[in-house]
Structure formats: C-alpha cells, structure tokens
Amino acid sequence: MPIVTYAEKTIAYTVEKQDVSFIKIYLDDLNGVKVTVSPHKEEAKIQAFVEKKADWILEKWQKTHDDLYAIDALTASDNVKISYLGRSYRLRTDHQEKARFAFQKGTFHFAYPENWTEEEANEQLRAEVNHWLFRKAGEKFPTLSEWEIKADEDHWKLGRKETDHIHLNWRLIQRSKQKIQQTIEDLIQEKTC
C-alpha cells in the first residue's frame, strides 16, 4: 500500500485503476483513502497528486470524525472533558513535583510541575491521554467481538479486516461500545461508507 507523509502524519492509500481520464480521491471510513486513476497513469504522478491533496485529506478526515480528534487540542485546565467508551469524563489538574496522569473514580487527573509553561503542560497532557487511550483500546477492543480485534495506529480509516482478525483505529475507544461494535460488524461485512 503506497504512503505519503505530510505534517508528520502518514497517509496510506490504495490505488484502483479504471478507465477514467482523471485522478479522483475518495475517503471511506472503513477502507481509508482510495485513489481512482487511469491504468496508464504513472505511480510518480499519482503520488504527487496525493501529496498535493494531503492537506485536504487530513482536514476532511478530521472534520468528518471531529469526535476522535478532539483530544489533539486538549488543554491542561479543569473542567475539560475527555471521552472514553462514549462518555465524557472531567479532567482535574494539579501541580506536583512530577507529571502524573490517572483515571480514578470517573475523573481524569493530570498533575504537572508548576514551573512548566502552558505549552509544555498541554503537550504532556495530550501525550499522556493518547498513550492511555491506546492502551485501553488494546484492552477493551478484544472484548467487543468474537473476532480477534487489535488496536492499530491511526491510518486515516476506522479499521481494516484481515483474514482472521480486525484492526481498529485506537481512537475509536472514545466512542460507545455500540458504535465500536457496529464498526466491527461493518468491517466483517466489508461494507463501505
């Protein structure tokens, strides 16, 4: 599968050759980025076109799935909410000697040194939340289906089906179990969106 790197993000895409005279990009929730081209189009020209459209691809994907990317804009302040399994939980912040992140009694807690800048605190919070959600996705996803389910990196699609197992975008752990199970079922049935 060809890939393009843009703004430190990797965009994997599939190429489908059809009898067309243009290049067209489709974004599909389950199958990711699909590029339709003429059978005579050179790979270098296809890749150049995808690179040219990378900003649009990322913007469109994140706009369509804004609930999955809200964590990338988190700030280290009280009353911010973090989604986990379809529910929103409040974040409490505090100053301590060492950075610490935990989920206890229905509340996320983030502590960080008082001498950190706001940007340092925000970056650390986002990294901690992403790591925590990725780990939880690895724990929870396998319990949602009889199929073998694995948490996967964010490749600009919700998941992919292989012969004997399913890979799900780890960011789906923010959605409800019912929505995650529906995505799993759609992947099993090989639906497109």
- 20 torsion bin: left (phi>0), alpha (psi -120 to 50), beta (else): beta
Contact indicator for 75, 122 with CB cutoff of 8 Å: yes
What is the chain's pLDDT, residue by residue, as a tens digit (193 residues)? 788 888 888 888 999 999 998 899 999 887 789 999 999 999 999 999 999 999 999 999 888 899 999 999 999 998 899 999 999 999 999 999 999 999 999 999 999 999 999 999 999 999 999 999 999 999 999 999 999 999 988 877 899 888 889 999 999 999 999 999 999 999 999 886 5
- Residue 176 belongs to some domain of the structure: yes
- Residue 44 belongs to some domain of the structure: yes
Q: Are residues 78 and 169 in the same domain?
A: yes
Strand ordering across the sheet containing 9-17: 3-6, 9-17, 32-37, 24-28
Domain count across the chain: 2
- Which of 64, 82, 116 is the C-terminal boundary of a domain? 64
This prediction has a pTM of: 0.85
Strand ordering across the sheet containing 165-169: 148-152, 165-169, 159-161
Q: Are residues 15 and 89 in the same domain?
A: no
Q: Are residues 172 and 83 in the same domain?
A: yes
Contact indicator for 150, 156 with CB cutoff of 8 Å: no
- Give residue 105's domain range: 74-193
Strand, coil or helix: 66:
helix
- Which of 30, 64, 98 is the C-terminal boundary of a domain? 64
Strand, coil or helix: 177:
helix
List pLDDT tens digits, range 41-57.
999 999 999 999 999 99
